[in-house]
Amino acid sequence: MEKEELYGEDRLAAETRIRNLLWTVSGDYDLSCELDIDSFQKAKEISLYDAIKQGAFARFFDTEAFGLYLVKKIYLGADEGQLMGIAQLCLDEASFSKVAAERPGVPDIRKKAFEEILERDFGRLNASFAGRLKLAYLRRALTGDPAGEQKIRRELDLVEALKDTKDTLEIIRCVDGIYNSAVDRKFEREHGTLAEVLAVSVADLKKYDWQDYLKEEAEEARLEEYLRQMQNQLTSLSEEEEQEKEKTRGGVVLLDEEAVEKMYSYMELNYGRSYLNEFEQQRIDQKLCRGAHADCSLYFTDGILAEPVKVNAQYELAKRTAEMNRRFLHQNRRVTRQNIEVLTEILNHALMTRNEEEIYASEYGRIVPNRLWKVGRTSGGKLFDLEIKKENSDFVVEILIDASGSQRDRTSRVALQGYILSEALSQAGIPHSVFGFCSFWDYTVMRRFRDFDEGREANNRIFEFYASANNRDGLAIRTAGDALLNRSEEQKILIVLSDGRPNDIIVNRPNSKNPAPYFGEYAIKDTASEIRKLRNQGVAVLGVFAGAEGDLKAEQKIFGKDFAYIKDIRNFSRVTGAYLKKQVLN
């Protein structure tokens, strides 16, 4: 049975109780706080304990320094959810004994809150390392026995060693150590040590566009807003269902005429000028933006680094991301070289096999002397050999890369995959193009990294790849397919690097047709439909999965049997090479 909404005096009483509790624990009656009365209604004990922890955190530790550490770590590529989960436990351990010593009622509130979290969030917590660590922490606090995985015991002991600390930096060291050892063992090598994380300047942080990290109701994508949001989340141990919903839902954004008029200028500022003129753009939109993609537009660009309107925060972000991607290439140069060599060899061998001369007995061609005896003795004697050889130019490939915000944690790895493919195709002499795609408002951005007939030097531009905004996979695949179908080569191949989660926001502009929000099953079916249409027109389509295991089913629905799931970059060339070899020899 659902609890009734809190209104009027009841709501005011709840607000007053939570605020007074926070102020009393912190000893600071000027402390600003963001109250979640809806959470209090759903889970009273959890909300009360969150308020206690928020007050204790503000009283005993440097909240700004801790929050800035988290933001800097995420800025350099850490997974926000996992990092936050570890930080919440460390903060709870460091604060609890101090506040419990002063307020005897706190342990009972904590016990009830932990019991409620275990009952309510067990399934969601089991889905990640930070969640399983949290389960073990809650169990140990309630029963003395974590009853969790053996490998989690070490991290749990590190958390509990913070019980008597008074040093914010010690908590930061603990969070950083657990994250680097248990969540992302490559983080220090690829992104930096703790000293390098802390050395990130506030000026650099302010240049970053935090919009994809902010909650939908946030008015501005600014550092201060995100830092405040992080500090509020730090004292909450419960799992918010909305966090998962936001990852899986599309939406509708309402815009007035003034906002619509500014949209194109915004696209130029943040994605670089388009390389198409207005007439070309309208012609392509009329041809491709139909059906589920009516009222959408395409935006073709060589990127903000190639065609900037001005040097703004987005330009600096793109520049910094490109540098990060190139560092990742340097760190993985040996395995990259091996992948390129293996894939090139597979392609060259397949092409050589295909291009071997096939000789048929024929009524014309090169005469065969030992068949001349047939003249006048047999009917229909084929006295000649005909040599048939196909050319490499029979093939063309387009590589399409999902560049939406959900790829942010995998930016460098995805760029490296695109580079390996492009280098091998270049060395094999196969014409190909590489595009990234994302969507913002009703624009689907097609970012060109290299065109079909450019030389190998163009492949380096793939490291300008960065992830942002949403993804309308169906329209992007339709657009890539159209480019392939306009090529003269006989065999056409489309390779799509994606995370299997098409998800876009619809703009409700004046006089729009308002198609359905593009997410979930609707978007998956649309994307799968576009792929079937291309296959029916003779285009071979391969999906290379670059997402979380939980999205594998969606990827299978979209691509059918022709998709590759590559857990280890060392196997990338062999898996993709096997598919390309099959297409070449077909």
Query: How would DSSP label each residue in 286-330?
Result: HHHS-GGGTT-EEEEES-TTTS-SS--HHHHHHHHHHHHHHHHHH
266/261 Cα distance (integer angstroms): 10
Of all residues in the chain, what percent carry a pLDDT higher than 90?
A: 35
- C-alpha 519/C-alpha 248 separation (Å) is 7
CA distance 148 to 134: 10
The arithmetic mean of pLDDT across residues 439-453, rounded, is: 93
Q: Decide: 527 and 257 in contact? Cβ < 8 Å.
A: no
Q: Are strands 443-450 and 432-440 parallel, antiparallel or unpaired?
A: antiparallel
Q: Who wins on pLDDT, 278 or 517?
A: 278
Same domain, 144 and 228: yes
Looking at residue 7, what is its pLDDT? 39
Domain identity same for 273 and 167: no
Instruction: Over range 7-22, report the average pLDDT.
Output: 50
C-beta separation of 434 from 401 below 8 A: yes
Question: What is the Rg, in whole angstroms, of the alpha carbon atoms belonging to the chain?
Answer: 29
What are 444's two structure tokens?
A: 């689907």
Report the range of poorest mean pLDDT among 221-235, 382-396, 564-578: 221-235
Percentage of residues of the chain with pLDDT beyond 70 = 76
Rounded CA-CA distance 23/31 in Å is 7
Q: What DSSP letter does each residue of 391-413 carry, written as one string?
A: -GGGEEEEEEEE-SGGGGGGHHH
Using CA atoms, how far apart are residues 218 and 227, in angstroms rounded to an integer? 12
Asked if residue 252 is part of any domain, the answer here is: no
Lowest mean pLDDT among 330-334, 383-387, 453-457: 383-387
Domain that holds residue 378: 357-388
Which letter, b or e, does each residue of 251-280 get, where b requires 16 or more Cβ atoms within 10 Å of its Cβ?
eeeebeeeeeeebeeebbbbbbbbebeeee
Q: Starting from the edge strand earliest in sequence, which strands make up the sheet with 384-388, in order?
A: 358-362, 384-388, 366-367
User: Which of 203, 218, 247 lies at the terminal end of a domain, its last residue?
Assistant: 247
Average pLDDT over the chain, rounded to an integer: 81
Is residue 352 in a domain?
no
pLDDT band of 212, cuts 50, 70, 90:
low
C-beta separation of 419 from 329 below 8 A = yes
Judged by DSSP in three states, 564 sits in strand
Whether residue 533 lies inside any domain: the answer is yes
pLDDT at 158: 92
DSSP bridge pairs for 360:
386
Q: Indicate if the pLDDT at residue 211 is higher than 70.
A: no
Maximum average pLDDT range among 75-84, 208-217, 523-532? 523-532
Size of the chain in residues? 586
Q: Is residue 351 part of a domain?
A: no
Per residue in 259-308, pLDDT (tens digit) is 566 788 888 988 999 999 999 999 999 999 999 898 899 999 999 999 99
Measure CA of the first residue to CA of the last residue in the chain; give whole Å: 61
Higher per-residue confidence, 529 vs 60: 529
Q: Per-residue pLDDT for 363 more than 80?
A: no
Q: 409 and 515: one domain?
A: yes
Query: Which residues lie closer than 8 Å to 205 by C-beta, 6 or more apart?
Result: 71, 72, 75, 223
**Cα–Cα distance measured from residue 440 to residue 129, given in angstroms and rounded to the nearest whole number:** 32
- Tell me the three state secondary structure of residue 550: helix
579 contact partners, CB below 8 Å, separation of at least 6? 542, 562, 564
Instruction: Please tell me what DSSP assigns to residue 249.
Output: -
For residues 107 and 238, membership in a common domain is answered with yes
Which is more confident, 572 or 9? Answer: 572
On whether both 561 and 459 belong to a single domain, the answer is yes
Say if residue 406's pLDDT is above 70.
yes
pLDDT in the model for residue 221: 47
329 pLDDT exceeds 80?
yes
| 224-249: pLDDT as tens digits | 666 667 666 765 655 554 343 334 44
The pTM of the whole model exceeds 0.75: no
Q: Say yes or no to pLDDT of 41 above 90.
A: no
Examine the pLDDT at 419 and tell me if it is beyond 80. yes
Left, alpha or beta for 368 (phi > 0: left; psi -120 to 50: alpha)? beta
Q: What is the mean pLDDT of residues 355-361?
A: 69
The answer to whether position 82 is within a domain reads yes
**By C-alpha distance, which of 162, 187, 156 is closest to 72?**
187
Asked whether the predicted pLDDT for residue 218 surpasses 50, the reply is no
Instruction: In whole angstroms, give the CA distance from residue 64 to residue 67.
Output: 5
Q: What is the pLDDT of residue 436?
A: 98
Q: Give residue 203's pLDDT.
A: 80
Residue 331 within a domain: yes
Residue 208 or residue 274, greater confidence: 274
Residue 372: which of 363, 385, 383 has the closest Cα? Answer: 383
Q: How many CB atoms lie within 10 A of CB 554?
A: 23
Which of these three, 247, 275, 310, is where a domain ends?
247
Domain check: are 165 and 268 in the same one? Answer: no
Does residue 526 carry a pLDDT above 60? yes
Q: Which residue has the higher pLDDT, 336 or 45?
A: 336
Lowest mean pLDDT among 170-184, 212-226, 331-345, 548-562: 212-226
Are residues 362 and 316 part of one domain? no
Q: Is the confidence at residue 438, as pLDDT, over 90?
A: yes
The mean pLDDT of 445-472, rounded to a whole number, is 94
CB atoms within 10 A of CB 27: 10
Confidence of residue 416 (pLDDT cuts 50, 70, 90): very high
CATH number for the domain harbouring residue 580: 3.40.50.410
At 332 the pLDDT is: 93
* Domains identified in the chain, total number: 3
> In the predicted model, is pLDDT for residue 358 greater than 60?
yes
Q: Indicate if 86 and 130 belong to the same structural domain.
A: yes
Same domain, 176 and 266: no
Give the CA dihedral 238, 128, 120, 16, nearest 10 degrees.
10
Q: What is the mean pLDDT of residues 146-153?
A: 66
Give the pLDDT band of residue 382 (cuts 50, 70, 90): confident
Average of per-residue pLDDT across 448-475: 94
Residue 476's nearest CA partner among 492, 493, 462, 496 is 496
Q: Select the more confidently predicted residue: 259 or 315.
A: 315
Domain final residue, candidates 368, 388, 408: 388
Vertex 324 angle, CA 70 and 176, to 5°: 25
pLDDT value of position 255: 54
Q: What's the average model confidence in pLDDT over 342-349?
A: 92
Rounded-to-5 percentages of helix, strand, coil across the chain? 60, 15, 30
pLDDT band for 251, please (50, 70, 90 cuts): low
Task: Tell me what the mean pLDDT of segment 192-198 comes to.
Answer: 92
Assess whether 384 and 398 both reside in one domain. Answer: no
Task: Read off the DSSP letter of residue 105.
Answer: T
Does the structure show a pLDDT above 60 at 522? yes
Q: Is residue 280 part of a domain?
A: yes
Q: Are residues 520 and 579 in the same domain?
A: yes
Q: Where are the beta strands (DSSP E) in 363-478?
A: 366-367, 384-388, 395-402, 432-440, 443-450
3-class secondary structure, 161: coil
pLDDT at 59 over 60: yes
Q: 432 and 580 in contact (C-beta within 8 Å)? A: no
Shared domain check, 501 and 478:
yes
